[in-house]
Structure 1
Amino acid sequence: MRLYPEQLAKHLQAGLAPCYFIYGEEPLLKQEALDMLRQTARALGFDDRQRFDADQGLDWDEIFAASQTLSLFSQRQIIELHLPDKLDKTASERLRELLKQCHPDLLLLITGPKLNQQQQKGAWFKALSAAGPVIPVVTPDARYFGRWLTQRLQQHGLSAESEALQWLAYAFEGNLLAVNGEIEKLALQNLPQPLTLQQLQQRVQPHHQFNPFQLFDPLLQGKVKRACRILLQLRQEGIEAGMLCHLLARELSTLQQLQLGLQGGQSFTQLAANLHVWSSRQSLMQSALARVPLAKLRQLQAMLAAADRAVAAFDDDEAWRWLYSICVGFLDDRLMAISP
């Protein structure tokens, strides 16, 4: 059963499941989900809590012993287990054994990192899904961030004018921890409602944050201004140009293989399956393929090679100039008047 963080409170009204798996890269939503589960469990008498990290040094027998041993002061207990980026065969098997140990006086709270589609097809993930709700926690993308902000403001008895809400979304995109802290501060100031743009700009310090993977979707959509803004912010945050070159090379290679296959008469569906393109990204890929022909993709790859050479020569400014030009190149089908 898949739950989203905003559905958890309603789910808990019907009682606790024996196991929950919370996974993803968003720290605020992950922590809030864990806190809600812990509070609900404590109200039901789960007073004892033990935490384990499933790294290579974990003694799984210690977890199994804990799952069957009750504290002198508590008849019910929580075992929290944090999973690493990858589970080896032994850890996968032991985790599935642990899930079979669930009983009414034991609550398993398992957390993990962001998972790709292949990991979600693994036997251990399927076992977790069968044992209880799985809760993915992800940072809302730009399309839904305004709605998330509106809901978060309402939770604190606040509202904001449309222009103010847009500014807040721009100022804190990708950084839920920071914007949540600012909203909590605003709630303590007893300001007139709805909040205006002027009020926010006087009281709130912008702090947006992006990760490199957030650069690609705007590029595929042709939203060049947004992609360039993310690129500049990534540079300010200290992301290495070489890392972006590596990630862009993979993206451009996939697009070129798709374009070549389409020209050869193959179906997009089959090509996407062969290249392991996630279903959630296929419409974005199709949008880019309709806008950026093969000749343009080859030019962008040549520009990326120039960026790579600049990285190798420790010419950071030159590398970032090429990366900026590549972002602009995703706008349309016209070849650019620059050559590496």
Structure 2
Amino acid sequence: MRLYPEQLAQHLQAGLAPCYFIYGDEPLLKQEALDALRHTARTLGFDERSRFDADPNLDWDAIFSESQSMSLFSQRQIIELHLPDKLDKTASERLRELLKQCHADLLLLVTGPKLNQQQQKGAWFKALAATGPVIPVFTPDARHFGRWLTQRLQQHDMSAEPEAIQWLAYAFEGNLLGVNGEIEKLTLQALPQPLTLSALQHRVQPQHQFNPFQLFDPLLQGKIKRACRILLQLRIEGVEAGMLCHLLARELSTLQQLQLGLLSGQSFSQLASHFHVWSSRQGLMQSALARLPLAKIQQLQAMLAATDRAVANFDDDQAWRWLHSICVGFLDERLMVITP
């Protein structure tokens, strides 16, 4: 059963499942989900809590012993287990054994990182999903961030005008912890409702935040202004140009292979399956392929090679100029003069 964070409160009104798996890369939503589960568990008499990390040094026997032990003063307990980025075969098998030990006086809270589609097909993930709800926690993307902000303000008995919501979404994109802190500060100021753009701009300092992977979807969509904004913010946040080179090389290689396959008469669906393009990204790839012929992709690869040389020569400014030129180059099929 898949359960989203905004559905958790209603779910808990009906009681607790024996196990929950919370996974993803959004720290605020993950912490809030854990806090809600812990609070509900305490009201139901789960007074003891133990935490374990599923690293190579974990003593799984200690967890099994803990799961079957009963304290003199407490008969219900919570065991929290944090999973690493990758789960080896032994850990996968022991986790599935642990899930079979769940009973009415034990609540198992499992947390983990963001998972790819292959990991979600693993036996251990399927076992978790069969035992209790799985709760993915991700940062809302630009399309849904405004709605998330509106709901978050409503939770604090506040509202905001549409242009104020739009400004908040721009000012805090990718940084839920930051905007949540600002909203909590605003609740203490008893401001007139709905909040106006002017009121927010005078009281709130923008704190948007991005990760390198957020650069690629706007590029594939041809949203170059947004991509350049993300690129600038990544530089401000200290992301290394070399890391972006590595990630861009992978994206351009995939585009090149797909375009070559299309030119040879293969269907996109066959190519997407062969090159393991996620279904959620296939539309983005098709959009880019329709806009970027093979010659343009090859030119972008040549520009990326120049970026790599700048990185190797420790010319950071030149590397970032090349990266900006590459972003602009995703706009359409026109070839560019290769001078950043």
Query: What TM-score, normalized to structure 1?
Result: 0.99
Q: What secondary structure does 2:159 align onto?
A: coil
Residue pairs, 1:129-168, within 5 angstroms: 129-168=129-168
User: Is residue 66 of structure 2 the alignment partner of residue 62 of structure 1?
Assistant: no
Task: For 2:3 and 2:286, locate their aligned partners in 1 and report how far apart those are by CA, in whole Å.
Answer: 29
Aligned length: 340
Q: Could you tell me which residue of structure 1 aligns to residue 300 of structure 2?
A: 300
Name the CA distance, whole Å, in 1 between partners of 2:176 and 2:256. 35
Q: Secondary structure at the match of 2:49?
A: strand
Q: Percent identity?
A: 85
Question: Does residue 87 of the first structure (1) align with residue 87 of the second (2)?
Answer: yes
The residue that corresponds to 1:22 in the other structure is 22
Q: How does 1:1-340 map to 2 (within 5 A)?
A: 1-338=1-338
Aligned-residue Cα RMSD (Å) equals: 0.8
For 2:128 and 2:269, the matched residues in 1 are separated by 30
Distance 1:317 1:71 in 2: 62
Please tell me the residue identity of whatever aligns with 1:298. Answer: Q
Letter in 2 for 1:81: L
Q: Deviations over 1:117-171 (max 9, x none)?
A: 1111111111111111111100000010001000001110111111111111111
Query: Partners of 2:171 and 2:293 in 1: how far apart?
Result: 34
Aligned letter for 1:316? Answer: D
Query: For the residues of structure 2 that align with 1:225 and 1:145, how far apart are their CA atoms?
Result: 19
Distance 2:231 2:200 in 1: 25
1:286-309 CA-to-partner distances (Å, cap 9, x unmatched) read: 111111111100000000000000
Amino acid across the alignment from 1:245: C
C-alpha deviation, 1:338, in angstroms = 2.2
2: CA distance between counterparts of 1:202 and 1:313? 43
CA displacement at 1:337 relative to structure 2: 2.1
Provide the secondary structure at the position in 2 that maps to 1:84: coil
In structure 2, list runs of 5 or more residues that go unmatched.
Answer: none
Distance 1:133 1:274 in 2: 32
Alpha-carbon distance in structure 1 between the residues aligned to 2:240 and 2:27: 23
Shift of 1:12: 1.1
- Separation in structure 2 between the aligned mates of residue 7 and residue 286 of structure 1, nearest angstrom: 33
Q: Distance in 2 between matches of 1:72 and 1:181?
A: 41
SS at match of 2:333: coil
- TM-fit CA distance, 1:11: 1.1
- Aligned-residue offset at 1:71: 1.6
Give the CA deviation at 1:14: 1.4
Q: Secondary structure at the match of 1:20?
A: strand
3-state SS in 2 of match to 1:110 = strand
Please list every run of at least 4 consecutive aligned residues from structure 1 whose deviation after the TM superposition is greater than 6 angstroms: none
Q: Which amino acid is 1:32 matched to?
A: E
Q: Distance in 1 between matches of 2:39 and 2:122?
A: 31
Query: Following the alignment from structure 1 to structure 2, what is the Cα–Cα distance between the partners of residues 339 and 154?
Result: 50
Letter in 1 for 2:56: Q
For residues 272 and 42 of structure 1, the distance between their equivalents in structure 2, rounded to whole angstroms, comes to 48
Give how far 1:339 is off.
5.2
Q: Distance in 2 between matches of 1:299 and 1:339?
A: 12
TM-score normalised by length of structure 2 = 0.99
